[in-house]
Amino acid sequence: MLDEERIKNRGFKITNYKSGDVYVIKEFFPENICRIIVSEAHKIMKALPNREEKDGMFFSLDYLPEGTESERILRAIQIRDFKKLKNKFNSVFHKMREFQLEFVLDKDNLNTEEELLPQIIHYPRGGGFFDWHIHPRNPVNYGLILQLSKRGSNFMKGATEILCSDSDVLKVEEYSDIGDLVLFKYDLKHRVAPCDPDNDLVFDINGRWSAILPIY
């Protein structure tokens, strides 16, 4: 479990769900900054070549790709060199990284060969999703998801769903909003349920957007 008191003493509003399986940090980033990040990411995604690295970023558009362990429909930007990050994503990922280093990581199991790869992911309306999957617990310890879009405005249906230790499925969007930081035990099975599956599939600025900070 995380040290909630130490996190609260640093001025963060943290709530514990399911005995430490999931936490939500409210208002981790302002809504207006989240919307700027989404606008910039959408613009970059339209300009970058698919599955090629350019300007330190790797863009992929995955529509039920073959040879993957979990099916998915999504767009993603992966930052290949975190230290050179100088665009509008800078403030978001650096604040997430500072939080991760101070409160989250299992530092005893860090490997110098492991690589931090910040990502912005878009699950489009019309069925964007990521099927059930699981990760090793360490060294990430708790996965970080910054909510960049708003249910009821940018999308209506679909949520990050986490199979908790008590076998209950927690739907993250019922407890979080745009600008909130969600933390979950990284070895819990989880998925992103289809986003507005009754709509036509459209890769525009709407849908579900999130920023994550995995280590590979």
Instruction: Mean pLDDT check: name the lowest of 40-49, 75-84, 97-106, 129-138.
Output: 75-84
- Whether the CB-CB separation of 134 and 189 falls below 8 Å is answered with yes
Q: What is the CATH number of the domain that holds 113?
A: 2.60.120.620
Name the percent of the chain lying above pLDDT 90.
81
Q: How confident is the model at residue 80 (pLDDT cuts 50, 70, 90)?
A: confident
Tokens in use for 83? 């230290």
Structural domains of the chain, count: 1
Q: What is the pTM of this model?
A: 0.95
Strands (E), the chain: 13-17, 22-26, 53-54, 57-63, 72-79, 119-123, 128-133, 142-147, 160-163, 169-171, 181-185, 190-195, 208-212
pLDDT of residue 46: 93
Max Cα separation, the chain? Answer: 47
Full residue range of the structural domain in which residue 69 is found = 4-212
Cα→Cα distances 181→59, 107, 157, 177, 192, Å: 23, 21, 19, 9, 16
Cα→Cα distances 96→77, 126, 211, Å: 16, 29, 9
pLDDT at residue 123 greater than cutoff 80: yes
User: Which positions ≥6 away from 54 have C-beta within 8 Å?
Assistant: 48
What is the three-class DSSP state of 8?
helix
pLDDT of residue 216: 81
| Helical axes 31-47 vs 90-99, angle rounded to 10° | 120
pLDDT at residue 108 greater than cutoff 80: no
